[in-house]
Amino acid sequence: MDGLHTERLEAGRAPAAFATAMAVPALVDPFGRAITYLRVSVTDRCDFRCVYCMAENMTFLPKADILTLEELDRLCSAFVARGVRKLRLTGGEPLVRRGIMTLFASLSRHLRCGRLDELTLTTNGSQLAKYAEEIKAHGVNRINVSLDTLDPEKFRAITRWGSLDQVLRGIDAAQAAGLQIKINAVALKGVNDDEFFHLIEWAHGRGMDLTLIEVMPLGDIGEGRLEQYLPLSMVRAGIAKRYHLEDLDYRSGGPARYVRVAETGGRLGFITPMTHNFCESCNRVRVTCTGTLYMCLGQEDAADLRKPLRASESDDALFAAIDEAISRKPKGHDFIIDRRHKRPALARHMSVTGG
């Protein structure tokens, strides 16, 4: 089925979104925040089963519910027409979606005509050796690779199904192709908390930024969050005992706060949804592979964009649904992990909305 979509995408369908692009206003939510960043989960499937992200036995969505590559292109293009300047493809694992390179190829037209500043990707790295050159050829310059440990045994324990060696080969290939890499590592108590210095030296030694992420209470994963949760305020204090950390104004377009590690010269980011709420500057929304738009990562409220997308060739109904959804974007989330809140704050997994 994807082969068919591939052909149609390559035929270069002119999205209806552009016919009305000049006439439609930018997306601004009720709190005055302009929505300029869309994260798109192109599949809920993955070749890993990270312990903080998925249960080992996941039930994935039926194929009929999932937007085709052509529909994903049309949806992304509608957001671009409405002022989105940055698109991130994520998942599940975006590079396991069959035919995914055709989506990169078709979306890259927005980079060439200057409507889009950045097309990027968050990946577990397992397929990078295969795709890095092609990704770069489609105009992608920077990617995020998730890697929580440099210890092969621990890597296997965290990802359940993954191979560290394969990911490291993918990182080598991506750097050889000229892609800039940011490594994302989830801080896990008792798992990788003895490795942060090693991760910093390894990433910075290879010219890569490193960002540490607090584990978030998303989805039932079959074990307690409290056991995994490690506040980054504590991690930062520990790192600051060995290194000089200089606060930076640098922002990568995301919620990370960065410091420069004086000893390595590299950048270290902290994403702290639990200890520091970053919602006031939120510029993003997320759409799933079924076309469900989540206005906030940490809230249940969502809008179905698949229905208006499939209802007509015109994008009018789609634009109306997007406007209505953005008018409901909440002020922020209220994640809590403590002894009284051991259940997930939200039923859906991170692999549904994408990281």
Stretch that binds ligand SF4, among 49-57, 72-80, 195-203, 294-302 (CB under 6 A): 49-57
User: How many angstroms separate the CA atoms of 116 and 319, rounded?
Assistant: 18
| Distance from C-alpha of 220 to C-alpha of 175, rounded to nearest angstrom | 35
CA dihedral 71→73→76→79, nearest 10 degrees, is -80
69 or 352: whose CB is closer to ligand SAM?
A: 352
Residue 124 lies near ligand SF4 (rule: CB under 6 A): yes
Stretch that binds ligand SF4, among 44-52, 169-177, 249-257, 314-322 (CB under 6 A): 44-52
State the nearest-atom distance from the C-beta of 181 to ligand SF4, in Å: 16
Pairwise CA distance, residues 292 & 87, whole Å: 16
Among ligand SF4, ligand SAM, none, residue 49 binds (CB under 5-8 Å by kind): ligand SF4
Q: Which does 90 bind (CB under 5 to 8 A by kind): ligand SAM, ligand SF4, none?
A: ligand SAM
Nearest distance in Å: CB 222, ligand SF4: 13
Stretch that binds ligand SF4, among 46-54, 255-263, 264-272, 290-298 (CB under 6 A): 46-54
Report the residue number, 50 or 107, with the smaller CB distance to ligand SF4.
50
CB 168 within 8 A of CB 206: no
Contact between 221 and ligand SF4 by CB under 6 A: the answer reads no
Quick one: 247 exposed, middle or buried, by C-beta within 10 A (0-12, 13-18, 19+)? exposed
Q: Is 276 helix (H, G, I), strand (E, B) or coil?
A: coil
In the complex, the smallest distance separating the C-beta of residue 163 from ligand SAM, rounded to whole angstroms, is 14
Name residues contacting ligand SF4, limited to 132-191 (CB under 6 A). Answer: 146
Residue 294 · residue 286 · CB < 8 Å = yes
In the block, residue with structure tokens 């039923």? 347
Least distance in Å: CB of 54 to ligand SF4?
Answer: 5
Q: How far is 130 from 127, CA to CA, in rounded Å?
A: 6
Cα–Cα distance, 143 to 124 (Å, whole number): 11
Beta bridge partners of 339: none
**Dihedral angle sign, alpha carbons of residues 319, 320, 325, 328:** positive
Q: Does 49 help bind ligand SF4 (rule: CB under 6 A)?
A: yes
- CA angle, residues 54, 210, 250, in degrees to nearest 5: 120
Residue closer to ligand SAM by CB (options 38, 46) is 46
The stretch near ligand SF4 (CB under 6 A) out of 87-95, 149-157, 211-219, 229-237 is 87-95
Pairing of strands 118-123, 86-90: parallel
C-alpha 329/C-alpha 281 separation (Å) is 13
Minimal distance in Å, beta carbon 117 to ligand SAM? 21
Q: Which residues bind ligand SAM (CB under 6 A)?
A: 46, 52-53, 90-91, 93, 122-124, 146, 184, 186, 213, 215-216, 218, 350-351, 354-355
Report residue 189 as tokens.
């108590």
192 contributes a contact to ligand SF4 by CB under 6 A: no
Binding site for ligand SF4 (CB under 6 A): 46, 48-50, 53-54, 91-93, 124, 146, 351
